Amino acid sequence: MIPASFDYVRPGSLAEACQELAADEDAKVIAGGQSLLPLLRLRLAYPTKLVDVARLPELAGVHDRGDHVFIGAMTTHDEVMRSGVVAAGAPLLALATAMVADPAVRHRGTFGGSLAHADPAGDLPAVVLALEGVLVARSAQGEREIPAADFFVDYLESSLRQGEVLVGVKIPKLGDGWGFHYEKFHRTAQAWAIVGVAAAVRRSNGSIQEARIGLTNMGTTPVRARAAETALEGLELGDGLRQACEEAAADTSPPADLHAQPDYRRHLARVLTHRAVRTAAGAP
Amino acid sequence: MTEVGKARRRKEDARLLTGRTRWTDNLQQPGMLHVAFLRSPMAHARITGVDVSAARELPGVVAVFAGQDVAGEQGSLPCAWPVSDDIVIPEHPPMAVTEVRYTGEIVACVVATDRFKAADALEAIEVDYEPLPPVIDLETALSPDSPKVHETGNQAFSVKITSGDLDAAFRDAPVVIDRTYVQQRLIGAAMEPRAVLVSTDGDTFTMWTSTQIPHVLRVMLAMVTGVPEHQLRVIAPDVGGGFGTKLQVTAEEVLCLLLCRKLGKPVKWAESRTEGNLAVHQGRGQLQHIRLAADSDGRIRGLQVDLLADMGAYLMLVTPGVPMLGATMFNGIYKMDAYEFACKGVFTTKMPTDAYRGAGRPEATFAIERIMDELAAELRLDPIEVRRRNWIKHEEFPYTTIAGLTYDSGNYEAATDKALQLFGYDKLRAEQADRRDRGDPVQLGIGVSTFTEMCGLAPSRMLGEANYGAGGWEHASVRMLPTGKVEVVTGTSPHGQGHVTSWSQIAADALGVPFEDVTVVHGDTAISHKGMDTYGSRSLVVGGVAVLQACEKVREKARKLAAHLLECSPDDLDFADGAFKVKGTDSQTTIQELALAAFAAHNLPEGAEARLDSDATFDPVNYSFPHGTHLTAVEVDTETGHVKIRSYVAVDDVGKVVNPLIVEGQVHGGIAQGIGQALYEEAVYDAEGNLLTATLADYLLPSAADLPDFVTDRTETPATSNPLGAKGVGEAGTIASTPAVVNAIVDALRPHGVRDVPMPCTPERVWRALEGGRA
């Protein structure tokens, strides 16, 4: 497939990129191109201009900032999964990133790109949601911080405004007692998740004090399984856990597609949440 | 110096792996133009108008044509296999003129100075469609009130074959098993998408195309387009996989030839993956009703097969022949008293079906191997045991089956015993029992497939009896070059099979020359003037034998020349290690010396020509019948429906092996492809006839990460129908693995009330089968 024709610019600075985007409402940011290029090639999107931000220094690198890890938007998945800073400060993210697509995609695709694309079937939006990350956007008007809970608006739609570029993401470091797991359910190793469950669980004295659960592909945006999170509070590892995780699909509206109908996705969300929480909580 | 049997690394690979390749889409011609095709977004519609005027005005656009513009000169795409007297072969215009009958059918084309301008111009073409009702489901397509795909109705043909007394076999039978299986449509997904380049010098046309069949294609194009055969040269350069999908005379090939002829300039077309998913012929597509009657000890009395075969919208090159290739294979390796095969070809508003790895035989094998497991379950017998009680015993070969084929050789006992041992069958059964007892959410299933296939296509006489339009011979020519090197020209057309390597091994042994001294030329009708090409596991069994026989003729010519030069009788010469030696003396001459002597021609026997070359056309007397036993253990997560293949053992008997490494590769790839059908792949059309699996994000293919390490081994029971003793291996893995995997899944879940899971056995389908079993 051949995309319709478009202009291409590679600005030398973030300010210039913001100007390019502000000047043309049909311009689009291109990062690693792993999501956008297929859309262009299938002629499902017709941007007038691609603004390539992949080499902007302001968007690069992983930084330890004390209470949080800051990951530049243009950090590739491969860099994220190999970063010592991420492994120490946000291990759930390292774990989930290693399950994104395949090595070729992980060397091209970027962390920020997959969040800005706002695909609920992507693995990382649910992870950032569960970790209560804060997305940092820049425009000619200045910098804005957007909590993950407010970032994902609808299917392939984020709260980024015209002229705004995602600069990076702050992932708060979770303290002692937290355990993590990402449970991805897919048909082949390279396929999208039918359902994914990102779980972060804090235990103390044998019982769960706090659980945060992000669900992949269970709606038009990544969602938190709030009812299950609440039900899990105070539980010890045991049979009660499974019952609490029965709440995992509450208030979700999962899609129907070739790989799964909504009732099956709800079922999977329950089973996988149980597995993710058990593993995160350190169950044998 | 024995080359045959050696695990030679492929001569082809260094070049392919380092990118020194000649894929059609890499080729350029001076002044070359680029073609893009506009395809129907509707499954069934009348074309009421096509406006190409805006597209013609775009920069870089050289020409735009709709079907109407070429209606008088585009001809009709051929079907070479009218399988029955009642067959209906509808007109099949390469570019639709008045009506479209599947999503993806070509309605217009653009020729432009580059492929980007051609693609852009497609969007400027306006087509008016008047929707007609789609025809999707096979059973409803045959009801009298169904909308029609063609005016003649939706039945393409009907065939019935009976053998033995079926009524007697079923009457009072203690066990009757009745099942329906769906063979879903598959997409070949060759790594190299199709591409065509045609150029002309004014008199002759040269077509480079990603095809399995340059020779057959040349003949058919001459017949379809009216370009005289001697003015048409077809070249298959490097071709990256086919799996049957490039065994075709495509609309794109015919139209590119037409466009080159009209414009007098070279034209090239290369498809995208999505275009290929839409418009490469698909495989399988059968609804199978199977009834089996047996005695209470498990002995089969009779088998009744009633098929509906999805033809799609038109009959392409061998579309109706595909189910017929399975007509005599549903009985598998088993003995029985009666057999009936009935099949109707059904038109639907979908992409036509045609050859896909195994073509008819996997469908048949699936049905019999699945129902054998059902028989075992019904009688509470081990599935291996029920097979043992029914299969043809080693000492009974050659054996003429109930379906009328004569299996020349086989040893099912040996292959099965070896497979059971490698698999650790008893231990896995014990683990299965343990998991069942414990109520483990992850259940273990064991799947068996003891298959055979009919391949080595094919004896020309038998193809004639089956009403196929051509023969099944193969040709080779072999020449000793003056410096003692060897050039083999083959009529086979490899596209991944490694013929350059295997044919070198055969020639090296037959002529006593080093493996490195042999080159193999193929895939160009101007160089390899005669051939029947590559499909149906035929290349070694037919084409390899032609190479051997041509080499033997060269050797005997060399013997006469040697006798002349050494002044002895030809009978006094021993041939070994490339030299003719006079018995009982030290007097000898090498084949390389003889090659130079023949070239110089200073001293030849009376009446001999100055050549050390020959050719051979081999026509087999029978099909070949590879067989084997495949066993797999799968873990089924009963909470999610996820299936994991834990182990897979394949013991294949493909007769004598020329190159074990290539055989191994074919078995691995074949098993993976068959697992693809079992677990992952399906071309899905919705109720309106839209293809929902137009990308590889939706049409899932397995990769190495999804597959276990395959344990492979062989038994070797030579074929008696050809001098190599080879049986063919290209399709074996694909045929065997699909039922093995599904049998394993059902075996895991049988205690949960599950007795079938439709393919592909997706996690959701497994889960729903479990839900159904619990209900």
What's the CATH number where B99 sits? 3.90.1170.50
Out of B256, B279, B302, a domain closes at: B279
From A169, A130, A124, A123, select the one nearest A146 (Cα to Cα).
A169
Is the domain of B213 the same as that of B273?
Answer: yes
Residues 6+ apart with CB under 8 A from A33: A108
Asked whether the predicted pLDDT for residue B13 surpasses 90, the reply is yes
Q: Do the domain assignments include residue B153? A: no
User: Which of B603, B618, B633 is the last residue before a domain boundary?
Assistant: B618
pLDDT tens per residue, range A251-274: 999 999 999 999 999 999 999 999
Q: Are residues B630 and B759 in the same domain?
A: yes
Q: Residue B1: pLDDT band by 50, 70, 90 thresholds?
A: low
Q: What pLDDT digit, counting tens, does each position of B623-652 carry?
A: 999 999 999 999 999 999 999 999 999 999
CA distance A180 to chain B (A): 21
Q: Is the pLDDT of residue B481 over 80?
A: yes
Does residue B163 belong to any structural domain of this protein? no
- Give the total number of structural domains in chain B: 3
Q: pLDDT band for position B746 (50/70/90)?
A: very high
Query: How far is the CA of B293 from the CAs of B166, B179, B578, B582, B747, in angstroms?
Result: 9, 12, 59, 65, 21
Whole-number percent of chain B with pLDDT over 70: 100
Nearest CA in chain A to B701: A188
State the average pLDDT over residues B462-486.
96
Interface with B, mutate which of A35, A102, A185, A190 (most B CBs under 10 A): A190
> For B706, which of A188, A194, A267 is closest by C-beta distance?
A188
C-alpha to C-alpha distance for B96 and B90, rounded to whole angstroms: 13
Domain spanning A178-280: CATH 3.40.50.620: no
pLDDT digits (tens, 9 = 90+) for B277-302: 999 999 999 999 999 999 999 999 99
Q: B452 and B481 share a domain? A: no
Averaged confidence pLDDT in chain B: 97
- Residue B585 and residue B630 in one domain: no
Task: Tell me the two tokens of residue A58.
Answer: 């302001």
Report the length, in residues, of chain B.
775
Q: Are B273 and B397 in the same domain? A: no
Separation of alpha carbons B255 and B258, rounded Å: 5
* Per-residue model confidence (pLDDT) at position A283: 85
Distance CA A237, CA A116 (A): 36
**Is domain A7-51 given the CATH code 3.40.1370.10 in the classification?**
no
State whether B637 and B766 are in the same domain. Answer: yes
CB nearest to A187's CB, from B695, B762, B767: B762
Shortest Cα distance, chain A CAs vs residue B442, angstroms: 13
A178 — pLDDT class (breaks 50, 70, 90): very high
Q: Which residue of B has its CA nearest to A269?
A: B640
Which pLDDT band holds residue B775 (cuts at 50, 70, 90)?
A: low
For residues B222 and B363, state if they share a domain.
Answer: no
Question: Where a domain ends, among B264, B279, B294?
Answer: B279
- Domain A178-280 in the same topology as domain A59-172: no
| Cβ–Cβ < 8 Å for B745, B641 | no
Claim to verify: residue B479 and residue B448 sit in the same structural domain: no
Distances (CA, A) of B688 to A258, B118, B276, B280, B691: 15, 29, 20, 20, 9
CB atoms < 10 A from the CB of B495, how many? 23
Question: What is the edge-to-edge ordering of all strands in the sheet holding B442-452?
Answer: B442-452, B627-637, B643-653, B710-714
Reported as a pLDDT band with limits 50, 70 and 90, residue A99 is very high
Residue B765 forms contact with A (CB below 8 Å): no
Residue B433: inside a domain: yes
Confirm whether B149 is domain-assigned: no
Integer Cα distance of B266 and B270 in angstroms: 14
Q: A5 vs B684: CB contact, 8 Å cut-off? A: no
- Sign of the four-CA dihedral A277, A280, A282, A284: positive
In a domain, B345, yes or no: no
| pLDDT, tens digit, 9 for 90 and up, residues B501-515 | 999 999 999 999 999
Q: What was the ipTM of the complex prediction?
A: 0.96
Min Cα separation A144/chain B (Å): 35
**Average pLDDT over chain A, rounded to whole?**
96
Nearest CA to A171 among A123, A130, A137? A130
**B490 and B529 both lie in a single domain:** yes
Q: Is A182 helix (H, G, I), strand (E, B) or coil?
A: strand
Contact criterion met (CB < 8 Å) for A185 and B642: yes
Range of the domain at B610: 473-618
CATH number at residue B400: 3.30.365.10
d(CA A41, CA A35): 11
CA–CA separation, B319 and B355 (whole Å): 7
As a whole number of angstroms, the distance between CA B672 and CA A135 comes to: 43
The CA distance from A191 to the nearest CA of chain B, in Å, is 7
Of all residues in chain B, the one with the smallest CA distance to A267 is B640
Classify residue B259: in a domain, yes or no: yes
Nearest to A258 among B120, B272, B684 (CB): B684
Are residues B713 and B735 in contact, defined by beta-carbon separation less than 8 angstroms? Answer: no
B381-434 pLDDT tens trace: 999 999 999 999 999 999 999 999 999 999 999 999 999 999 999 999 999 999
Is the model's pLDDT at A80 over the cut of 70? Answer: yes
- For residues A275 and A283, give the distance between their C-alpha atoms in angstroms, rounded to a whole number: 9
Out of A2, A42, A261, the one facing B115 most closely (by C-beta) is A2
Give the whole-angstrom CA distance, residue A128 versus residue A151.
Answer: 10
From A42, A190, A267, residue closest to B274, measured CB to CB: A42
- Taking the CA atoms of B525, B530, B534 and B536 in sequence, report the sign of the dihedral they define: positive
In chain A, where the domains are located: 7-51, 59-172, 178-280
Q: Given CB atoms, is B774 within the 8 Å cutoff of chain A?
A: no
Identify the CA nearest to B703 among candidates B658, B723, B678, B673.
B673
Residue of A nearest to B766 (CA): A264
Question: Nearest by CB to A258, which of B274, B639, B693?
Answer: B693
Q: How many helices (H) and strands (E) does chain A have?
A: 12, 14
A-chain residue closest to B691, CA distance: A258
Chain A positions touching chain B (beta carbons under 8 Å) = 1-2, 4-5, 38, 41-43, 102, 185, 187-192, 194, 258-261, 264, 267-268, 271-272
The set of long-range contacts for A96-104, using a CB threshold of 8 Å and a minimum separation of 24, is A96/A123, A96/A124, A96/A127, A96/A182, A96/A184, A96/A196, A96/A198, A97/A123, A97/A124, A99/A123, A99/A182, A99/A184, A100/A124, A101/A34, A101/A77, A101/A190, A102/A189, A102/A190, A102/B703, A102/B705, A103/A78
Percent of chain B residues topping a pLDDT of 90 = 99
Question: CB A188 to CB B763 under 8 A?
Answer: no
B763·A272 Cβ contact <8 A: no
pLDDT at A193 exceeding the cut of 80? yes
B81 and B40 inside one domain? yes
Can you give the three-state secondary structure of B607-664, one letter per residue? CCCCCCEEEEEECCCCCECCEEEEEEEEEEECCCCCEEEEEEEEEEECECCCCHHHHH
Span A59-172 CATH architecture: 2-Layer Sandwich (3.30)
Q: Would you say residue B545 has pLDDT above 80?
A: yes
Interface with B, mutate which of A1, A5, A35, A183 (most B CBs under 10 A):
A1
Mean pLDDT value across residues B96-112: 98
Is the domain of B728 the same as that of B602? Answer: no
Is B84 found in the same domain as B219? yes
Q: Is B119 on the interface with A (CB under 8 A)?
A: yes
